[in-house]
Structure 1
Amino acid sequence: MSDLNKVPVTIVTGFLGSGKTTLISHLIRNAGGRRLAVVVNEFGTLGVDGEILKGCAIPDCPEENILELANGCICCTVADDFVPTVESLLAMDPRPDHILIETSGLALPKPLLKAFDWPDIRSRITVDGVIALADAEAVAAGRFAPDVAAVDAQRAADDSIDHETPLSEVFEDQISCADVVLLTKADLAGAEGIAAARAVIAAEAPRPLPVVEVTEGAVDPRVILGLGAAAEDDIAQRPSHHDGHDDHEHDDFDTIVVELGEVDDLPALSAKIEQMARDLDILRVKGYVAVKGKPMRALVQAVGARVRHQFDRPWKPGEARVTSLVVIAEHDRIDAAAIRGALGV
């Protein structure tokens, strides 16, 4: 089967809170006549991103074309989850013109690329491109890219120090695998922050990469769809920290779901989340909040100590008005009792 008959797939990767769901929501609304399908891979048991995207469904990307996998990393569950999901999309009538895959914020894209060589699907789909999102403000602050010179100086003084952290490895692997990097939240970083973030990305990239600044996921789809990269045939040019390993683990990170009843004060809850992130080194918080006296459900998203909330839709008749929050942190930093205490549970 020729490449012209293969359904193109775009992999959207990026660290926690970098704006992947916002980008895909924008692509759904601006598909340029393409019939889209979306696969969302969540880290944790409470699906938030999938429901957000289903709320954006339109005739060219109906709700049944948006599938959610919350059973673990799709590149680790190829036979059980990824391949059957892709096969179900390819069996649709009409068949999607383009498939978008939103990886979890903790995913390594290269093992997923290898999954496209699976015999049952490799003749029917191709990786049109890998799009890596990088939070300009966070990258500029050095949260995911260590200071190599400083680390080398420390290593010279203490051989037991390992300069690689789980966060830096995830970030570097995502950049290394990309065809295009989207520098998100550019409006928050400022000119100096954007310049610093671009320098970090250039230093980590194994080859020159186009870097596009975006705000609120607004990018012309022609920039990132239709790249024709056939990335599954170009794996050797996309180095990873995990090259030589047959699989990878997510034991470096952990997640818990905190459930509350209705809350009296949404800004007060946001302040608690912000303080909890600072005190307990929380990476990400996302979920839904039931606010007393409000007919609308609130969506809360936090990246570190930066918290945003908005009312996204009315509560449905008969729907339980509960508050459910997913909290993600590095494995040795997750303290369920402390987290629940910080949120007033």
Structure 2
Amino acid sequence: MNTRVPVTLIAGFLGSGKTTLINTLLQGEHGLNITVLVNDFGAVNIDADLILKREREVVELSNGCVCCSIQSDLVAQLQALFRSGNSPEYLLIEASGVSQPGRIASVFGYPQLRNYARLDAVVTLLDAENTDMLSDNCQQLVQAQIAAADIAVLTKTDLVDVQRVGDFRERWLFPDLPSYEARDGHVPLQYLLDTGLHDPSSTALLQSNPAAGFYSQSWSSQKPFCYARFKSALGALPASVFRAKGVLYCIDFPDTRIVFQKVGSRLEFRHDGPWRGTPETRLVIIGEDGLD
């Protein structure tokens, strides 16, 4: 009997819906003690009533799940996790939107990990609405993410017509690659967890830098902003900025935390309840060229 911890790697370009999918999996009726490693813990919008305890790098959830942020040395962090007295029953890893997931997949072949865990599947998310509008550099990265995939999940298919979805599948997906469509992050759990689809000998590796040409900048302020002016500023960002996210401390709603997202030309703002701590605007911007 294989007692190694199964691992699912969630990959996909920036804004493809990884956070939404992970939140759905966290709150699913699976009965598993799941640990989730994420690149940016603050990006995972976990419902407040699910949180039991929040520490600097770990959040304990009421359904037995735990969320941690990925540190610089993934292998060392995984070793510590699997050798702890509370090893997970299942592990989800969110890959960076500008990473090649084959590089992460390859670490599960390392001697110090292969006795503890097995990579069950690499799940790559594809944004059916925005992928075709990415630059050549970004599309090459998306192709590398697909090459490493054991399962493809098409997101935002409800925002485009059926013919366009069909054309997208034909142009982007390999014919023998299992694929599903997600609506608001919902894909049946049995299609994504404990599938046994990953073949270690097929792990796709690239020698080039997977994040070449990309940049990320963060900024924060405890000064409240005008909602309309902030929204206008985000909308005026150049096309080279294809992802922005964060929380807004707003003059118009000073007691409410506003979560915002920008993917391509689409902006989304939502009220996220009262502030938990000191009100502060926090912004992360990701693109291809430098930005002042």
User: The TM-score by the shorter chain falls in which range?
Assistant: 0.7 to 0.9
The residue aligned with 1:312 is 272
In the alignment, what sits opposite 1:301? 261
Normalised by the size of structure 2, how large is the TM-score? Answer: 0.88
Question: Could you tell me how far 1:321 is from its partner in structure 2?
Answer: 1.6
- Tell me what 2:42 maps to: 48
Q: Deviations over 1:233-252 (max 9, x none)?
A: 432xx4x5x2xx3x625231
Name the counterpart of 1:323: 281
**2: CA distance, partners of 1:171 / 1:53:** 27
User: So what's the TM-score if we normalise by structure 1?
Assistant: 0.75
Aligned residues: 281
Contact map agreement 1:37 1:89 (CA 8 A) in 2 = no
Whether contact under 8 Å (2:220, 2:282) holds in the other structure is yes
User: Which has the larger Rg?
Assistant: 1
From 186, 190, 210, give the equivalent of 1:218: 186
The 2-side partners of 1:103 and 1:182 are apart by 15
Aligned-partner residue type, residue 39 of structure 1: L
User: Which residue number corresponds to residue 196 of structure 1?
Assistant: 167
Equivalence map 1:174-185=2 (5 Å): 174-185=145-156
Partner of 2:291: 335
Which amino acid is 2:200 matched to?
E
Matched, 1:274 2:235: yes
Contact 1:273 1:305 in 2 (8 A): no
What amino acid is the match of 2:279? R
Matches of 1:180 and 1:251, distance apart in 2:
25
How far apart are residue 273 of structure 1 and its match? Answer: 0.8
Q: Compare the two structures and name the one with the higher helix fraction.
A: 1
Could you say what secondary structure the match of 1:101 adopts?
Answer: strand
Distance 1:307 1:70 in 2: 30
User: Using the alignment, how far apart are the partners of 1:231 and 1:265 within structure 2?
Assistant: 52
SS of alignment partner, residue 48 of structure 1: helix
Contact 1:53 1:66 in 2 (8 A): no
Structure 2 residue 123 is the aligned partner of structure 1 residue 123:
no
Q: Does residue 1:14 correspond to 2:17, yes or no? A: no
What is residue 132 of structure 1 aligned with on the other side? Answer: 124
Going from structure 1 to structure 2, the CA distance change for 1:70 and 1:288 (only over 3 Å counts) comes to farther
Q: Is 1:254 the equivalent of 2:215?
A: yes
Correspondence 1:6-85 to 2 at 5 A: 6-42=4-40, 47-50=41-44, 52-53=45-46, 55=48, 57=51, 58-62=61-65, 65-69=66-70, 71=72, 81-85=73-77
* C-alpha distance in 2 between matches for 1:193 and 1:270: 30
1:171 to 2:142 alignment: yes
Distance in 2 (CA, whole Å) between partners of 1:70 and 1:296 is: 30
Shift of 1:115: 1.1
Whole-Å Cα distance in 2 between the matches of residues 121 and 258 of structure 1?
Answer: 36
Q: What CA deviation, in whole Å up to 9, does each residue of 1:148-177 have, x standing for no partner?
A: xxxxxxxxxxxxxxxxx3202210011111
What do the CA deviations read for 1:259-305 (whole angstroms, capped 9, x no partner)?
A: 244444434422321221xx352110011111124322111111122
- Quote the residue 2:57 is aligned against: none
Task: Output the CA distance in 1 between the equivalents of 2:278 and 2:241.
Answer: 27
- Asked whether the equivalents of residues 126 and 230 of structure 1 are also in contact (C-alpha less than 8 Å), the reply is no
Structure 1 runs, 4 residues or longer, greater than 6 Å off: none
Aligned residue identity for 1:321: P
Asked whether the equivalents of residues 9 and 128 of structure 1 are also in contact (C-alpha less than 8 Å), the reply is: yes
User: Match for 2:133: what amino acid?
Assistant: R
